[in-house]
Chains A and B, each alone.
Chain A
Amino acid sequence: MRAGAGGRVVGLMARHALLIVVCLAALYPIWFIVSTALKTNADYQADPTGLPTHPTLGSLRSIVADQPLPRWMWNSFLVTVSSVAVSTLVALLAAYGAVFGRFRGHRIFLSTSVALMVVPPVTLLVPMFVLMVDTGWVNHLQSVIVFYSGLLVPFAVFFLSRFFETVPAELIEAAAVEGAGPFTVLRRVVMPLSGAAAFTLVIVQSIWVWNELLIALVFLQNENSRTVIAGLTQFQGRYSTNQPLVLAGALISIAPIVLLYLAGQRFFVRGLTAGIGK
């Protein structure tokens, strides 16, 4: 016990110091986006790191009023909601069938899902783009919606089947004995239990779709069809001399995610690390 109370205090302070430094490093770029978005270009040029001493909504207002940004936000919203709805529904049925139906080959089906989770989407890009050209869907939101939906299915199946395995089989059997068909059991027994898990899954998938760049960039090339993240990269080149304007756009694009995160941080943590924990 030679280290004693003094040593313990020093150790504790060192730990807090480390964590505070890491937190500041994590927050600084986000603070940079927020503070720059509240400056005029002249203020920013004069002092890029300083506090916004005369905060103004000018940059935010002009990026919303004079640019297709609201349209891009709406596109991102439509794409996110549609692809997540489709993939969640498809995966819900499949995971239920695999875990409670235990059809022949259900194990192969589940491990195929795990393997497909890590296929890099860039390797699928060229054939899918050609397919979209053939169907005439390029520059239409449905092109990315159908592709995203398919890409999300393996993770959704993996996530939901892992959750279903924790549902006691007796509950299902009891309902089946009373003569309930599989769909009734799914609707009346399994779905009411799955609220938190389904919400977590929806959050993870939504972030993935909202943040995706490569596919959106390639499939949606005209000004009105872009998603907000792909649109931002256009701003980056177009307004390289007006960085507050670009970062005002960036701020608007990350705002929905940050607000959701503040509201339900545990769902994010649990969902995004689901591929790895037990």
Chain B
Amino acid sequence: MTHGSTRRRRHRRRVLWPYFYVLPAIGAMAFAFVYPLVQVVRDSFYAGNFAAPTWVGLDNYRGVIDDPAFRQSLLNNLKLLLVVPVMLGLGLVIALVLNDRIRGGRQYQAIIFLPYVLPAAAIGIAFSFLLQQNGVLNTALRQAHLGVLAQDWLGNSHLAIGSVGGLVIWQQLGFAVVVLTAALLALPPETAEAARVDGAGWWALQLRVLVPQIRPIIELLTVIQVITVLTWVFSYVYVLTSGGPGYASSVMELYIWRSFSNGANGTAASVAVMLLGMASVLIGVSLWVRRRADIV
């Protein structure tokens, strides 16, 4: 009798304690994610300030879609997608070179990764001084008698978003390099050995033997970088161009911030919901890629 009851008690304790342990985390996620996500969807159907909101149905969404500034912002996010293949290609070449057990490889990698840990805003400010009309880059170009190449990198509406993309590549390339180097390092040496014995040249070895084996990591890296350029570039744009000239280099995050700063909370919320829709698709893709690659 006593034996049975202690066993039951221990059994119950084993079943219950994990719920208590996980409760604070669930509370934190509910507070920081669930509450604002539910609320932002609600807000997107209202206009006016938060003291006296009025129901406007889908008007916020209609207004946003008709707004050329929003379309420009969305288009710029899509343009920034071009950054992804550049980072992947360049990152892959550097990772393959590092993978050849090159002397000083660790030191090279440490330097290449450094930009990734620095605050985007502080670095972006330095870039804004480098790239402005009479900034360092143009001065250097003129001194080298290459004045024809000097451009208004931040003030020209055709170039500004390209400059933002350049900054993103500069800061995030190291991440791709480190991830790809680690993936290459984890490969079993036998397959590369066998290919070498078969007389495969350097390029054939890289492209036919090594790269296909790290394909799952390349896919996941692609998804992560797409998410980054669509949803996590506010700091770069804010300090480099503030979205200007006009809205020429604005992105969706900046559009949300500007609407919100102007008191158009409903507008900001409706763009947030659209961004969230895009992010959800990408989150779904990333979970799927992870499962397929057996990473989670």
Taking a contact as CB atoms closer than 8 A, the residue among A36, A133, A217, A277 that contacts B179 in the complex is A277
B63 on the interface (CB 8 Å rule)? no
Chain A: interface residue total (CB-CB under 8 A): 93
Q: Which of B100, B108, B109 has the most CB of A within 10 A?
A: B108
B112-149 interface (Cβ within 8 A of A): 112-123, 125-130, 135-136, 139-140
* Assembled-state Cα–Cα distance A36/B121 (Å): 17
Q: Are B276 and A120 in contact (CB under 8 A)?
A: yes
* Assembled-state Cα–Cα distance A265/B21 (Å): 32
B186 on the interface (CB 8 Å rule)? yes
A197 on the interface (CB 8 Å rule)? no
Min C-beta distance of B271 to chain A, whole Å = 9
Contacts of B220 in A (CB 8 A): 276
A112-131 interface (Cβ within 8 A of B): 112-116, 118-120, 122-131
A96 on the interface (CB 8 Å rule)? yes
Min C-beta distance of B13 to chain A, whole Å = 8
Min C-beta distance of B6 to chain A, whole Å = 12
A25 on the interface (CB 8 Å rule)? yes
Q: Are A211 and B119 in contact (CB under 8 A)?
A: yes
Q: Are A18 and B97 in contact (CB under 8 A)?
A: yes
* Assembled-state Cα–Cα distance A269/B108 (Å): 13
Chain B: interface residue total (CB-CB under 8 A): 96
A143 on the interface (CB 8 Å rule)? no
Q: Are A276 and B179 in contact (CB under 8 A)?
A: yes
Taking a contact as CB atoms closer than 8 A, the residue among B25, B50, B125, B174 that contacts A90 in the complex is B25
* Assembled-state Cα–Cα distance A252/B120 (Å): 14
A251-276 interface (Cβ within 8 A of B): 253-254, 257-258, 261, 265, 268-269, 272-273, 275-276
Q: Which of B28-36, B64-72, B156-164, B190-198 is the interface stretch?
A: B28-36
Q: Are B290 and A114 in contact (CB under 8 A)?
A: yes
A79 on the interface (CB 8 Å rule)? no
Contacts of A217 in B (CB 8 A): 238
Contacts of A150 in B (CB 8 A): 28-29, 31-33
Report if A101-B121 is in contact (Cβ < 8 Å); known contacts: A26-B114, A91-B25. Answer: no
Q: Which of A55-63, A65-73, A102-110 is the interface stretch?
A: A102-110
Interface string of A20-38 (1 = CB under 8 A from B): 0011011101101100100
Q: Which of A27, A147, A217, A273 has the most CB of B within 10 A?
A: A273
Min C-beta distance of B30 to chain A, whole Å = 9
B206 on the interface (CB 8 Å rule)? no
Q: List 9 A-B contacts (CB under 8 A).
A: A120-B253, A122-B256, A124-B37, A127-B43, A151-B32, A233-B238, A246-B125, A272-B175, A278-B186
Q: Are B111 and A27 in contact (CB under 8 A)?
A: yes
Min C-beta distance of B115 to chain A, whole Å = 5
Q: Are A265 and B110 in contact (CB under 8 A)?
A: yes
Contacts of B179 in A (CB 8 A): 273, 276-277
Q: Are A123 and B276 in contact (CB under 8 A)?
A: yes
Q: Are A269 and B178 in contact (CB under 8 A)?
A: yes
